[in-house]
Structure 1
Amino acid sequence: MSLSARTSPDDARLLDVLRDWLPTRRWFPAKGQAAELSPVASFALAPDVTILLVRARAGSIDVVLQVPLVLTDEPSPEALGTLDGRTVLDGAHHPAFLRAWLAAADGPGAEVDVSAARVVSGEQSNTSVILPGARPGILKVLRAIAPGENPDVDVPRHLVDVGWANVPAPLAWLQAEWPGHDGDPVTGYLGVLAAFVDAAEDGFELACAYAGRAETFAPLAAELGAITATMHVALVEAYGVDPSDDGPEEVARAVAARFSWALSAVPALARFADGVAAVVAEVRALSSAPPRQRVHGDLHLGQVLRSHDTWFIMDFEGEPLAPLAQRTRPDLALRDVAGLLRSIDYAAAVGGLTGADAASWTADARAGLLRGYGGGDQTLLRALELDKTLYEAVYESRNRPSWLPIPLAGLERLTG
């Protein structure tokens, strides 16, 4: 079923209860900024369960946030506040919300125990809740919601339909209609429940552990490369390829634009100007590029799981704050490979390797990944990895300055 939003005087009152709490959430998109918050609408999922939609605006950020809430007559140390004498609780992992969500959702369903739910730690842009049971699942509550087909629902469903087995299968999903920014109704997804992958290890944590032991990651990287290649084949089967022929010029323009943007944010990157220009020139000299297709769009080691000696790829949502059209636009499959290569550099650093030891470990793992994937145009791959590394340099300078040496080392290698 699809939910329809309502507007109520209680929406503004609930938002007042949440104003101090919202900016403290890891998924709040306007960290450190004076955001303007306003109620959009709400969904009455059950008598004591409400989903409040809040519009958050700060600078270039303008998003609608989903905030599940549970109201109860019982006091609680986890209370966010009170409304008319009732306790207001964060509902994302509350059994009452989970029970109501499952009752309203579409899909084949799951056999889960909502009373034993637990939140996945470390989540940032969304909230994921593990639901154990006879047919366990993991519910992703989308925090920044947008109109249209959410890739994290749409892509896994397509991949399962064409028989690709290395993605957690969607078990349930919830659509809704709410007022858009112009007041007209829009429709999109609020969340998705996917099959839980048991005995799973996070790909990034696994790679960091291998790096910490100075143990080769190449065999596992080769397997991941091979799985990634089959994913790209399955995505072509499911979505086809883009008939337009943009060629390598689009990649060259994008890298040049990325460098200009990065340089304005981090002036110290000026020393890489000649190297970036050389990479751009090499791309422009190419006579052709592979056709663009549907890709993962944000693939790195933190988006993969290792379970029962195989890899599973998840989180097809892309960058949640990016426009939906940008997240679903056909791209070069090698962009996903570039993301994995960059993640290997990060795993080496976080795992504690430095200097020659880091260079040797990453070179070995990178070679394994590319061997498993089956290669690809090295000029294009270098350009796409450079594009990603420039983005990382800006991100780290703004958010984790102590990590800035990781992308800087990557730039040294890619522009040398």
Structure 2
Amino acid sequence: MTTSTTSLSAASLPTPSSSAMSLLTEPADTRGRLAALLARWLPDQRWFAGRDNKITSLSVVAATEVTPGCFHLLVRVEHRGEPDCVHYQLLLGASTDVPPRLRGHVIGEVEGPTGRGLLVYDAVHDQRATVLLLDRIRRGGTMGNLRFESFPRTGVPSNLAPRVLDVEQSNTSIVYGDRLILKLFRRVQPGINPDLEVPTVLARHGYAQGLAPTAWFHSFAPFFATLGVVQPYLADATDGWTLARDSAQSPLGRAEFIEEARGLGRATAALHVALSESFPVTAAPADHTVRLADAMTNRLRHAASLVPALRAYVPALNAVFAEFAQAGTDLPLQRVHGDLHLGQVLRAGGDWHIVDFEGEPAKPLTERRGDHSPVGDVAGMLRSFDYAAHIGDSPRPEWAEHTRATFCGGYAEVGRFDPRGIAVVLRAHEADRAVYEVVYEAGHRPDWLTVPMAAVARLCRTL
């Protein structure tokens, strides 16, 4: 990606010390080179949301030195054609030399205060920096524009060896001694993050299948925002995606996963019940399904403009959404998970644990913290079963069908509705999710496009 112009506003910076000062205040051309380095580096990161649009401006809006040679940044990014800016959280190191284990994480070089080159690198991979970061969270208090807090009596142990999880996600997770996990929210929005808010409230409610936060930190300038959350780490856990994928690819997969899928359905229903008892619940307005169906139809129209293969299914999908609009009032609206799939559930000690309550990071925080139909979570999990069945050399659609039915049966045992009894509503939510997946796969993983396209064809046939 080529960056046309970048800007780094000195007026917006705090006054950092030592290496951070050399990197961010003097001389002015150093600031420009740092901005240019970051503008080239950011689009290659898994958690960066604006790969498709050129960066037109990048500025540092807050900087705090965490330890000599390592500093925390909030950067403001503007994209061509986008009216809103986006903020990202970075942990950067600066040194005249870096050890071999960090050389693969070097972003580039800028001139230091003595004229020597400073290597700038992604410090989440620097064990020294991440150990000190957890220690700072453990001790609490304020540093620069950052505030560190923890729940009383929980305690955060010290001297735990860190390692960065090498998984595809929209944030960065650091595991400490197989006891704790720190999630750094890379894309930052003003306000409390649901991944801190929801597990905290659920823990107070007595919900046992979540992971209650132990500690966290946030910014209070230039705005309040949750930056990171520390939670217990389940070292013996296996994620639902791995279990389902292995089951789908096994000749005996249908039999061995049945109880796990039923238990996951029950766990999902128990989550929705706990959320409805912990947060306010509102009745869906009389025109809710009409407005939601209109939104689904508009998303379909946009998706079809981007992915030609989808256009042949537009009439049938429009009929799916129209039938939903005529179905009448939807279920009561409540807090939900917001991004539920097999990668967000863990199996440990014979139980399912539901994690990652952040929701879709690209959506506004007010929307992620709002009330929605729990059917959306159910549809997300059903779509995830479909993916597990179709990734590999031998697709297993019959495995997906059986597992989906088992999950819904488990949900009905505990939940306040039976997904199988609201087929029209569930089909519309599934179709809307599949349309989203079509756009995502076409842009990011073209080899996987056949998975959501097969789901679109199936959902159209159910009319």
Q: Give the TM-score taking structure 1 as reference length.
A: 0.90
Cα deviation, 1:92-147, whole Å, max 9, x if unaligned, reads 243233333433421135444555111111233110000116xx210001111110
Q: Distance in 2 between matches of 1:162 and 1:70?
A: 41
RMSD (CA atoms) = 2.3
- Match for residue 64 of structure 1? 87
- Match for residue 344 of structure 1? 385
Q: Distance in 2 between matches of 1:97 and 1:88?
A: 18
Bigger-Rg structure (1/2): 2
Unaligned runs of 5+ in 1: 180-185
Report the residue type matching 1:248 in the other structure.
Answer: T
- Match for residue 124 of structure 1? 169
- Match for residue 213 of structure 1? 250
Q: How has the CA–CA distance of structure 1 residues 262 and 73 changed in structure 2, closer, same or farther, with 3 Å as cutoff?
A: closer
Q: How has the CA–CA distance of structure 1 residues 26 and 110 changed in structure 2, closer, same or farther, with 3 Å as cutoff?
A: farther
Q: Distance in 1 between matches of 2:347 and 2:204?
A: 22
Q: SS state of the match for residue 30, structure 1?
A: coil
| Contact 2:283/2:331 (8 A) holds in 1 | no
Question: Residue 257 of structure 1: CA displacement?
Answer: 1.5
| Contact 1:211/1:353 (8 A) holds in 2 | no
Q: Distance in 1 between matches of 2:431 and 2:398?
A: 20
Cα deviation, 1:350-380, whole Å, max 9, x if unaligned, reads 14432xxx22111110001100111232111
Q: How has the CA–CA distance of structure 1 residues 299 and 277 changed in structure 2, closer, same or farther, with 3 Å as cutoff?
A: same
Q: Distance in 2 between matches of 1:343 and 1:402?
A: 17
Equivalent residue in structure 2 for 1:365, among 375, 386, 403: 403
Cα deviation, 1:12-40, whole Å, max 9, x if unaligned, reads 36545544433332222222543232222
Q: How has the CA–CA distance of structure 1 residues 5 and 224 changed in structure 2, closer, same or farther, with 3 Å as cutoff?
A: farther
Q: SS state of the match for residue 360, structure 2?
A: coil
Q: Distance in 1 between matches of 2:382 and 2:242?
A: 15
Q: Distance in 2 between matches of 1:302 and 1:119?
A: 17
- Match for residue 326 of structure 1? 367
Q: Distance in 1 between matches of 2:374 and 2:180?
A: 29
Q: SS state of the match for residue 75, structure 2?
A: strand
- Match for residue 332 of structure 2? 291
Q: SS state of the match for residue 124, structure 2?
A: coil
Q: Distance in 1 between matches of 2:13 and 2:331?
A: 43
Q: How does 1:238-277 map to 2 (within 5 A)?
A: 238-243=278-283, 245=285, 246-277=287-318
- Match for residue 454 of structure 2? 409
Q: How has the CA–CA distance of structure 1 residues 391 and 19 changed in structure 2, closer, same or farther, with 3 Å as cutoff?
A: closer
Q: How does 1:150-189 map to 2 (within 5 A)?
A: 150-179=193-222, 186-189=223-226
Q: Distance in 2 between matches of 1:115 and 1:254?
A: 47
| Contact 1:207/1:347 (8 A) holds in 2 | yes
Equivalent residue in structure 2 for 1:30, among 50, 54, 63: 50
Q: How has the CA–CA distance of structure 1 residues 74 and 278 changed in structure 2, closer, same or farther, with 3 Å as cutoff?
A: closer
| Contact 2:155/2:214 (8 A) holds in 1 | yes
Cα deviation, 1:53-109, whole Å, max 9, x if unaligned, reads 111222437311111123456532325246524554422243233333433421135
Q: How does 1:193-212 map to 2 (within 5 A)?
A: 193-212=230-249
Unaligned runs of 5+ in 2: 1-11, 25-30, 141-147, 413-417
Question: Residue 174 of structure 1: CA displacement?
Answer: 0.5
| Contact 2:284/2:331 (8 A) holds in 1 | no
Report the residue type matching 1:321 in the other structure.
Answer: A
- Match for residue 183 of structure 1? none
- Of 251-260 and 364-373, more deviation after overlay is shown by 251-260
Q: Distance in 2 between matches of 1:96 and 1:269?
A: 50
- Match for residue 182 of structure 1? none
Q: Distance in 2 between matches of 1:279 and 1:23?
A: 37
| Contact 1:304/1:314 (8 A) holds in 2 | yes
Q: How does 1:373-412 map to 2 (within 5 A)?
A: 373-374=411-412, 375-376=418-419, 377-412=422-457
- Match for residue 14 of structure 2? 6
| Contact 2:218/2:224 (8 A) holds in 1 | yes
Q: Distance in 2 between matches of 1:5 and 1:338?
A: 45
Q: Distance in 2 between matches of 1:207 and 1:270?
A: 31
| Contact 2:137/2:149 (8 A) holds in 1 | no
Q: How does 1:111-150 map to 2 (within 5 A)?
A: 111-112=156-157, 114=159, 116-132=161-177, 136-150=179-193
Q: Distance in 2 between matches of 1:257 and 1:336?
A: 21
Q: Distance in 2 between matches of 1:51 and 1:150?
A: 19
| Contact 2:135/2:158 (8 A) holds in 1 | no
Percent of matched pairs sharing the same residue: 38
Report the residue type matching 2:262 in the other structure.
Answer: A
Whether 1:99 aligns to 2:132 is no
Report the residue type matching 2:64 in the other structure.
Answer: F
Question: Residue 261 of structure 1: CA displacement?
Answer: 1.5
Report the residue type matching 2:86 in the other structure.
Answer: V
- Match for residue 90 of structure 1? 122
Q: How has the CA–CA distance of structure 1 residues 345 and 289 changed in structure 2, closer, same or farther, with 3 Å as cutoff?
A: same
Report the residue type matching 2:195 in the other structure.
Answer: D
Q: SS state of the match for residue 343, structure 2?
A: helix
Q: How has the CA–CA distance of structure 1 residues 256 and 294 changed in structure 2, closer, same or farther, with 3 Å as cutoff?
A: same
Report the residue type matching 1:35 in the other structure.
Answer: I
Q: How has the CA–CA distance of structure 1 residues 5 and 291 changed in structure 2, closer, same or farther, with 3 Å as cutoff?
A: farther
Q: Distance in 2 between matches of 1:65 and 1:220?
A: 37
Q: Which has the higher contact order (CA 8 A, sep 6+)?
A: 1
Question: Residue 205 of structure 1: CA displacement?
Answer: 1.3
Q: How has the CA–CA distance of structure 1 residues 244 and 348 changed in structure 2, closer, same or farther, with 3 Å as cutoff?
A: closer
Cα deviation, 1:148-193, whole Å, max 9, x if unaligned, reads 11011101101111000111110001011233xxxxxx21111101
| Contact 1:252/1:284 (8 A) holds in 2 | yes
Q: How does 1:73-88 map to 2 (within 5 A)?
A: 75-77=98-100, 78-79=102-103, 80=106, 81=109, 84=112, 85=116, 87-88=119-120
Q: SS state of the match for residue 170, structure 1?
A: coil
Q: Distance in 2 between matches of 1:317 and 1:83?
A: 38
Q: Give the TM-score taking structure 2 as reference length.
A: 0.81
